[in-house]
Each structure stands twice: as structure tokens, then as C-alpha cells.
Structure 1
């Protein structure tokens, strides 16, 4: 029984720490319902319940659709746009 309680405490602490760091690093425009400082206080004071609330309600979900391809950086002598401007 003691192992289960220890596991529960460690999981709760890890979830709280992950949510707190995620909220602190996330851009303000990607956080919903409350300002960033409000979510940080909720996560801090309500630990696991605040962390779960933030993960499900507080942050926006990123689109799972296809991402646009990254543009390759070309040296100036291979870049057609650069050569056109000369």
C-alpha cells in the first residue's frame, strides 16, 4: 500500500511540474480561458487537479494536419529569387 501511495505522489508531482513548466514556457496567445499567471497560480495551489484542468481546458491544441514543408536555405548563387533581383 505504501508503494502505491509513493507512486501516486511521484506521479502527481511530475504532472504538476510538467504542467507548470509547460504553462510558463507557452506563449500567452496559446493559453485559453485565463491569463498565464492565473493558470500558474491554479497549477501551483491545486497541484494535480490544477494541472489536469490546465492540460484539458487551458491550452490550445495544435493542428494535427500536415505541416507546410520547411523552406530550404540556398546560398545566394543558387537562389533564383536572389539572382532575379541582381
Structure 2
């Protein structure tokens, strides 16, 4: 029995010290359950049991994947958006294109072509503009 104690006591002390050091060295974000100081108190006051609890419950696993971020939280996405002036310029160009398309709807040349095409039922040829041009 004495020989067993000479083996188990140093192993328990080594485990206890290792669990305290591991708990102290982990970043606070990797502690589950309670805060980092609370885990230190648990591992110090309950030598073997505290270490076992630390490794089973308290120590969070490190993730191998990057955390998923929403687009508005991702700096790379936000850099890719460009400045407000670039967005305003793009909106201005799109509005100009829309105004040109509206002007084509009011263009008398299209109406003249519709009259000469023999279209008697009054259907609009807007869907066939590419073929007419």
C-alpha cells in the first residue's frame, strides 16, 4: 500500500499542477461554465477533482474553423463595398439608363413602326425591340 501511495501522490500532484497551469494559461473565451477566476479557485481548492472537472466541463475546445460572421461584421466584406460616392455614382448611372428606357417608350419612331407593321389588335412590340433594332 505504501508503494502505491509513493506512485499515486506524485502523479496526483503533477496532475493538479498541470490543471492549474492549463486553467491559468487558457484565454478567458475558452472557459465554459463559470469565469476564469472561479475555475482557478475550483482547481486549487479541489486538487484532483477540480482538475477532472476542469478538463471535462470547464475547458472549451478550440475550434478549427473560423467563426461565421454576418456580412456587416466582416471587415473584408465591408472593404469591398466601396465608398458612398461610388455607390451614388452607380445609382446615378442606373437612373440614367432607366430614363433612357422610358424615353424609348415615348419615342414616336416605335409607335410609327407599330402602325406600319400591320398590327391591328393593338399589341405592343416592346418585347421584340431587339429584333426590330
**TM-score scaled by structure 2?**
0.46
| Separation (CA, whole Å) in 2 of partners of 1:61 and 1:6 | 33
Indicate conservation of the 8 Å contact 2:20/2:43, yes or no.
Answer: yes
Q: CA deviation at 1:56?
A: 0.6
Cα deviation code 1:4-52 (max 9, x no counterpart): 1121111111111001001111100001001011011111111000000
Larger gyration radius, structure 1 or structure 2: 2
Determine helix, strand or coil for the equivalent of 1:60.
coil
RMSD over aligned CA atoms reads 1.4
- 1:19 lines up with 2:19 in the alignment: yes
Instruction: Give the equivalent residue in structure 1 for 2:125.
Output: none
- TM-score, normalised via structure 1 length: 0.70
- Unaligned runs of 5+ residues in structure 1 are 67-86
The CA deviation string for residues 51-72 of structure 1, in whole angstroms up to 9 with x for no partner, is: 0000110011234x68xxxxxx
Alignment partners' CA distance in 1, 2:8 and 2:23: 22
Partner of 1:36: 36
The correspondence of residues 1-86 of structure 1 with structure 2, limited to 5 A, is 1-63=1-63
Structure whose residues are more often helix by fraction: 2
Consecutive unaligned residues of structure 2, counting only runs of 5 or more, are 66-133
SS of residue paired to 2:61: coil
The SS at the match of 1:12 is helix
Matches of 1:6 and 1:39, distance apart in 2: 28
Structure number with the bigger relative contact order (C-alpha 8 A, sep ≥ 6) is 1
**Matched residues in 2 for 1:3 and 1:58: separation?**
33
